[in-house]
Amino acid sequence: MRKYAFALAVAAVGMGVPAQAQNIQGMGILALDPVNEGNTVLTMTGKSVVKRQADVAILSAGVTTTGATAEEALRANSAQMQSVLAAARRLGIADVDMQTSQVSVVPVMEDEFGALAFDPLAIADAASAAADAAMAAAKAMEEPVAAPEAPKIVGYRAANSAVLKLRRPGQFGSLIDGLVKAGANTVDGPTFILEDSVAAEEEARRAAILDARKRAEFYAAAAGLRIVRIIMIDEGRTSGLSSSGRSYGLMEFASLDTMDVTTPVATGELAINGSIGMMFELAPQ
């Protein structure tokens, strides 16, 4: 006589690393399959980790400029960004590996030019002024309040940035130095990736299946049972790749003419985490 077992297999999310690792992640599925009378079902998740050296580094580099008019700010920005892109080409970045990610021109309002955040005396004065304003407001509760003046535009800020793909991660520090020297004043990155991760993903999946089988055999033996067959394999449906490095921003650089060292960048390793859900039928030994 046969009975039906109804189980939910859920493959756990792969373990992450600080700037984000690659996941081969199983999704939950409902499985309905005939199981022999007296047998039981074991749902297991297998996990694995495969390490690889990154072969591509991705970063964003750009230029921010200001001017009295929008045209002035944009013109200065365009000239400086052209210099940055030309430097990227000289440093080995192909045109197909450069893509503009942002172009913007925005007004700069009057209060944006204050140095309040960087001047301790100004901060103290502002606190005192705020207290005086609060007292004055309390006294003027019954008096008509004048409408605040609209902020004034005192200039314009233009920004242009591009995403660059470096296929020699070991030269990332030199690339940053060269871009900054050419005029880049905003840099963000890196993100390290594998250009082709298929082989590493397949290795991680294979290792995850072996791990699930090994775990199932352990639990079955501990319970005095044996594995009869595999009822279901829940193959991961999503994958991604990320780096163990952290993104960072560089702004307001000093001149690099006097620098005698290259910006240090450690590429580290990528961890490709595999996770697979499996369902086993167990029978008494």
Query: Which H or E element spans position 64?
Result: strand 56-67
Res 150: pLDDT: 76
Strands 270-284 and 22-25: parallel
* 111 DSSP β-pair partners: none
Q: Is 148 helix (H, G, I), strand (E, B) or coil?
A: coil
* Tokens 């290259």 -> residue: 262
Residue (of 285, 269, 273) closest to 52 by Cα position? 269
pTM: 0.60
Residue 154 and residue 104: Cα distance in Å, rounded?
A: 17
Q: Which own/partner contact pairs does 107-116 have at CB distance under 8 Å and 24+ positions apart? A: 107/70, 107/153, 107/155, 107/156, 107/157, 108/66, 108/153, 108/154, 108/155, 108/156, 108/157, 109/151, 109/152, 109/153, 109/154, 110/151, 110/152, 110/153, 110/154, 111/151, 112/154, 113/154, 113/155
Res 46: pLDDT: 92
Res 165: pLDDT: 95
Helices (H), 91-164: 120-139
Could you list the mean pLDDT of each consecutive 10-residue stretch along the chain, which spans 285 residues? Answer: 40 34 40 76 92 92 96 96 96 95 94 49 62 68 64 93 93 92 93 90 92 96 95 64 34 37 76 91 94
For 97-222, strand residue ranges (E) read: 98-109, 153-166, 186-193
Token digits of residue 110: 């009057």
